[in-house]
Amino acid sequence: MRVRGGVRFSRALGGALLLVVAAFVLGVGAEDGKPESAHRPYAGAALDTSGASPFVRRGGGDHGRARRAPATRPSPAPLATEHHGAVAAEHPRAAEIGGEILRRGGNAVDAAIATAYAVCVLNPSSCGIGGGGFMLVQDASGTVYALDYRESAPALAHRDLFRRDETVLAELSRRGPLAVAVPGEVAGLEAARIRFARLSRAELLAPAIALARDGFPIGAHLAAEIAGNAGALGSSPALAHLFLHEDGSARREGEPVQFPALAATLEAVATGGADAFYRGATAAAIAHSVDGSGGILTADDLARYRPQWRTPLHVRYRGFEVFTMPPPSSGGVLLEMLNVVAHDDLAALGARSPAYLHLLAEAMKDGFADRARWYGDPAFTTVPVAQLTSDAYGRALRARIRPDAVLPPSRYGTSPDSGTTHLSVVDDDGMAVACTTTINTAFGAMLMDEESGVVLNNEMDDFAIAPGVPNTFGLIGGEANAVAAGKRPLSSMTPVIARSHTPHVGEPLPEILAVGGSGGPLIISASLQTLLGLIDFGLDARAAVSAPRIHDQWEPPRLGAEAGIDEATRTELARRGHDVRVMTFAGAVEAATYRDGRFDGAADPRKGGGAVTR
Ligand code: DON
């Protein structure tokens, strides 16, 4: 075990103290380990889908600042391993950069930040400093923190932004200046760095700056995204210059690409921090690019942007404590699904059995129906997340699932009135990071500020631009997720950290799993199935992320099944009433784990990432 810069705390402090501290900082009730929110009164029938709220108002707990851990905390016993940790990311080079940071004495957060900046350069179609995300961090004492650096709607946004009279102008929320929400990426990564990192900002940004400045060969994923979006890229001269040949054809895998303007912006951030992005010349250039082409993003919006520390959601599942992001992420939706399947012996049913897949699909429909009805920015709408993620609600939903048939769509829930990149890191201090970040669809709004080299997000499309009108991922929503000034659009991003028990002083580390993914709504179903693979089916990281998956988002009423789910099983699922379609992409998940005394990491082969153990 190497000794690094960070402080190791005395093991003599004793387990009892740690238990008290852990219970306090986690909000874990001593009596049964549930977060205090789970004890709030649950009013009304869980299965009431009449339209009236079955839930009582919840007292603010899900959008408070994460409770600060004491300044000195005892740590669990360091690992007896020659390895420093594992990093899984959507580009092998980005994972290597994270691994190198661990090797040089950085912790999981240092590695996550360097990996995030690097992957945003290597896969600029998936993420970037023009976007935003969520980061879940477990520190060495076991305290879990949830950082929300989701983009927010500009101050001039309003609920009818994408409506003209009776017409919904969906395209405006997907491409071009009006699609752009205030980016949160730099502010978020800085907030994480200031709170947890050991290495300097300059050290963490250096690999990304070098990639952007010196260039790198286009990877398989980026090449596919360029080819698939060549038409749209062609209509933006700045993007065309970077990603297309002079004749308009797509640059191919292996061809070199450089981002000098972005390198200069990243260098400015390395020197000046978040202010170098949110104020001054960069902010003015970004606002000018958006505003000057018909958008509403202003320099003031950028200056006012703040990331938010939130209280993580937590459930117990088969001896694991599972933590995830609260709204405006979809972590609660995953926990709801987990609570539905918790009452069955999934391993006994079998990972590819119709019985298991049917149960899973039904649980997904329940979760997505509740997502459409209830979920949005908690600063603007009351999300009854404690109730939706309660064991009682999960049991009630499970009780009405018919073993042999689906229910009519309206029985899963009612929608109101009518209606990314992920990286995972675990380290030998017992720290873990699950970080998902996005510019929404490939190359975001297809709008790049030439001066700063920043590709801007199209996150406004994650709002429900009108009740019942599906967004680009077919997701619907209503009032809870309507457009409003300063509001954060609901996200499907679902970073998850699970551990087998709370770390105790002097004891070996618990098993730790960090999971999450990209792929719009597929993130929720893919992360859930990866977690079930790791916990219920005993798979290692590679097998868990690679196993064939299903997806059912309730609306539209379709069950996607990968070709790896054999035809006989698909036929049996169809017999039960599922409208089964073979799906060609099931999201991409990255998992990093510490189990049985060793680190393991895997990136989803569906998106060609990479993982390292260092
Ligand atoms: O936050 C969300 O839900 C979307 N912006 C995620 C988009 C996504 O995952 C695209 N896929 N790689």
> pLDDT at residue 419 above 90?
no
Which of 326, 359, 322 is closest to 340 using CA atoms?
A: 359
Q: Relative to the CA of 421, which ligand 1 atom is closest?
A: 12
Q: What angle do CA 252, 256, 259 make, to 5 degrees?
A: 115
Query: Can you name the residues that pair with 163 across neighbouring β-strands?
Result: 168
Residue 601 CA to ligand 1 centre (angstroms): 22
Distance between CA atoms of residues 493 and 329, nearest Å? 6
Check residue 503 and give its pLDDT: 86
Is the peptide bond between 605 and the residue preceding it cis, with omega within 30 degrees of 0?
Answer: no
Least confident segment among 5-14, 472-481, 490-499, 567-576: 5-14
Q: Which of 436, 473, 585 to mutate to test the pocket of ligand 1 (most atoms within 8 A of CB)?
A: 473
Whether residue 113 has pLDDT greater than 90: yes
Q: What is the pLDDT of residue 2?
A: 32
* Higher-pLDDT residue of 525, 509: 525
pLDDT beyond 60 at 29: no
Please name the residue ranges forming H helices in 515-565. 522-535, 541-546
Comparing 103 with 20, which gets the higher pLDDT? 103
Q: Tell me how far the alpha carbon of residue 205 lies from the centroid of ligand 1, in angstroms.
A: 24
* Cβ-contact 448, 168 below 8 angstroms: no
To test the pocket of ligand 1, the residue of 120, 185, 493 to mutate (highest count of ligand atoms within 8 Å of its CB) is 493
- Taking 90 as the threshold, does the pLDDT of residue 417 lie above it? no
The answer to whether residue 420 is catalytic is yes
On whether the CB atoms of residues 66 and 146 are closer than 8 A, the answer is yes
How far is the centre of ligand 1, averaged over its atoms, from the C-alpha of 582 (Å)? 21
Pocket of ligand 1 (CB under 6 A): 126, 420, 438, 440, 459, 462, 491-493, 518-520, 523
Mean pLDDT of 600-611: 96
> Token pair of 125, please?
């179609």
At 95 the three-state DSSP class reads helix
Which atom of ligand 1 is nearest the CA belonging to 441?
A: 10
Using CA atoms, how far apart are residues 311 and 309, in angstroms rounded to an integer?
Answer: 7
For position 415, what pLDDT does the model report?
A: 55
**Average of pLDDT values for 559-576?**
97
CA angle 236, 240, 244 (to 5 degrees): 150
The DSSP output letter for 142 is S
The pLDDT of 218-235, averaged and rounded, is 96
- What is the arithmetic mean of pLDDT over 533-544? 97
Is the preceding omega at residue 556 within 30 degrees of 0, hence cis? yes
Q: How many angstroms is it from 435 CA to the middle of ligand 1?
A: 13
Give the integer Cα–Cα distance in Å for 301 and 296: 9
Rounded to the nearest angstrom, the distance between the alpha carbon of 161 and the centre of ligand 1 is 21
Confidence check: pLDDT of 66 > 60: no
Atom of ligand 1 nearest to the CA of 521: 3
pLDDT band with cut points at 50, 70 and 90 for residue 508: confident
Q: Are 498 and 317 in contact (CB under 8 A)?
A: yes
Q: Distance between CA 165 and CA 516 in Å, rounded?
A: 40
Q: What is the pLDDT of residues 74-96, one digit of tens each?
A: 455 555 467 899 999 999 999 99
Share of the chain above pLDDT 70, in %: 86
In the predicted model, what is the mean pLDDT of the chain?
Answer: 87
Q: d(Cα 460, Cα 487) in Å, to the nearest integer?
A: 10
Task: Tell whether the model's pLDDT for residue 231 goes beyond 70.
Answer: yes
The answer to whether 311 and 24 are in contact (CB under 8 A) is no
Give the contacts of 138 (CB within 8 A, at least 6 positions apart). Answer: 144, 145, 323, 430, 431, 432, 433, 497, 499, 512
Q: What is the mean pLDDT of residues 59-64?
A: 28
Using a pLDDT cut of 90, give the percent of the chain over it: 81
Beta strands per DSSP E along 192-248:
216-217
Model pLDDT, residue 342: 98
Chain-centroid distance, C-alpha 248? 34
Flag whether pLDDT at 50 surpasses 90. Answer: no
pLDDT tens string 431-489: 999 999 999 999 999 999 999 999 999 999 999 999 889 999 999 998 999 999 999 99
Give the residue, by CA position, lying nearest to ligand 1 atom 1.
491
Distance CA 110, CA 137 (A): 11
Query: Do the bridges between strand 580-582 and strand 559-561 make them parallel or antiparallel, or are there none, so unpaired?
Result: parallel
Element holding 15 (H helix, E strand): helix 15-26
Q: Is the pLDDT of residue 232 over 90?
A: yes
52, exposed or middle or buried, with CB in 10 Å at 0-12, 13-18, 19+? exposed
Best residue among 438, 473, 487 to mutate for probing ligand 1, ranked by most atoms within 8 Å of CB: 438
Best residue among 127, 375, 420 to mutate for probing ligand 1, ranked by most atoms within 8 Å of CB: 420
Q: Whole-prediction pTM value?
A: 0.87
Question: What residue's CA is closest to ligand 1, atom 10?
Answer: 420
SS3 labels along 26-53: HCECCCCCCEHHHHCCCCCCCCCCCCCC
> What pLDDT was estimated at residue 93?
98
**142 and 312 Cβ atoms separated by less than 8 Å:** no
Among the options 143, 311, 324, 420, which is catalytic? 420
Average pLDDT over residues 58-66: 28
- CA–centroid distance, 420 to ligand 1, in Å, is 4
Q: So what's the pLDDT on residue 467?
A: 86
Closest CA to 334 of 346, 345, 322, 344: 322
Q: Phi-psi region for residue 106, left (φ > 0), alpha (ψ -120 to 50) or beta?
A: beta
pLDDT interval class at 505 (50, 70, 90) = confident
Q: Can you say whether the dihedral through the CA atoms of 594, 595, 599, 601 is positive or negative?
A: negative
Give yes or no for a contact between 449 and 139, defined as CB atoms under 8 angstroms apart: no
Q: What tens digit of pLDDT does each residue of 365-379 get?
A: 999 999 999 999 999
CB 526 within 8 A of CB 551: yes
Three-state SS at 265: helix
**What is the distance in A from the centroid of ligand 1 to the CA of 349?**
32
Instruction: Identify the three-state secondary structure at position 175.
Output: coil
The values of phi and psi at residue 185, to 5°, are: -55, -55
For atom 6 of ligand 1, the residue with the nearest CA is: 520
Q: Write the burial class of residue 408 (CB in 10 Å: 0-12 exposed, 13-18 middle, 19+ buried).
A: exposed
> Which atom of ligand 1 is closest in space to residue 522's alpha carbon?
9
The closest-lying atom of ligand 1 relative to the alpha carbon of residue 126 is 12
